């Protein structure tokens, strides 16, 4: 097994995990705007707790997105800086795949829709299949809405749906009989087996290639767009007369 450092700051939580010599060390803290200042000290503290240095790592894994723009930039820049300084490669992990890994039940074949709140009344979604100990991407990460996801699921009902969108859009998403895992998140601990698989497959990249997966190219809605979205939501919630 490789000695791996993994971290994610794509959500409101900062998550760090370290795997070495058959042991795992973890740290979770506040993300968002605080992650840019707190991530490196937390990483160094976790390494010290494990008695390791950056030079002893085989690779550095990071959540590349999709997710909050500031958080993605933080994770990518820290991964790149640490990897360049230590002369190590990076392992970019899709945050939605980490959500799916968090929701996985055992080693039986299963398919999972990962759906995370993307704000602005939108959802980051992807569809994955797990079989024979490996993940396969059925639908790569994309930006969508509850209405459009419902259309997809009306054609092919989901088996499992995981992620923060379940809570945010609980009155809108039609998940049918799917197993629901609303608390599944892109934790660094879930990233470790994904990073190990990527390492085993020769997927490590030069640190210069540590770039985010944004999916969306718009940071925020205008005031008019926010108001229109609010009115549309209120109207949809009104009982039919």
Q: Picking from 44-48, 66-70, 170-174, 214-218, which range would have the lowest pLDDT averaged per residue?
A: 214-218
Q: Picking from 2-11, 134-143, 212-221, which range would have the lowest pLDDT averaged per residue?
A: 212-221
Model confidence at 217, pLDDT cuts 50, 70, 90, reads low
Q: Is the pTM of this model over 0.95?
A: no
Taken in order of first residue, the domains within the chain and their CATH numbers are 4-95+186-209 (3.30.420.40), 97-181 (3.30.420.40)
Model confidence at 32, pLDDT cuts 50, 70, 90, reads confident
Predicted pLDDT at 224:
44
Q: What is the mean pLDDT of the chain?
A: 91
Instruction: Say how many Å lie between the first and final Cα of the chain, rounded.
Output: 62
């Amino acid at each position: 097994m490789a000695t791996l450092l993994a971290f994610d700051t794509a959500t409101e939580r900062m998550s760090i995990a370290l795997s070495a010599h058959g042991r795992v060390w973890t740290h979770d803290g506040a993300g968002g705007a605080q992650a840019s200042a707190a991530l490196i000290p937390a990483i160094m503290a976790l390494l010290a707790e494990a008695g390791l240095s950056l030079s002893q790592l085989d690779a550095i894994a990071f959540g590349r997105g999709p997710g909050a723009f500031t958080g993605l930039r933080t994770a990518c820049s820290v991964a790149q800086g640490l990897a360049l300084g230590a002369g190590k490669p990076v392992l970019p992990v899709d945050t939605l795949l980490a959500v799916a890994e968090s929701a996985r039940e055992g080693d039986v074949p299963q398919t999972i829709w990962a759906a995370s709140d993307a704000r602005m009344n939108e959802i980051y979604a992807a569809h994955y299949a797990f079989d024979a100990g490996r993940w396969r991407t059925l639908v790569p990460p994309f930006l969508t809405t509850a209405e459009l996801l419902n259309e997809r699921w009306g054609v092919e009902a989901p088996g499992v749906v995981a992620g923060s969108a379940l809570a945010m859009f609980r009155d809108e998403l039609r998940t049918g009989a799917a197993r629901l895992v609303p608390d599944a998140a892109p934790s660094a601990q879930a990233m470790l087996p994904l990073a190990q698989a990527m390492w085993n497959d020769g997927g490590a990249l030069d640190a210069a290639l540590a770039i985010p997966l944004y999916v969306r190219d718009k940071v925020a809605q205008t005031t008019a767009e926010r108001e229109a979205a609010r009115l549309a939501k209120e109207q949809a919630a009104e009982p039919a007369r």
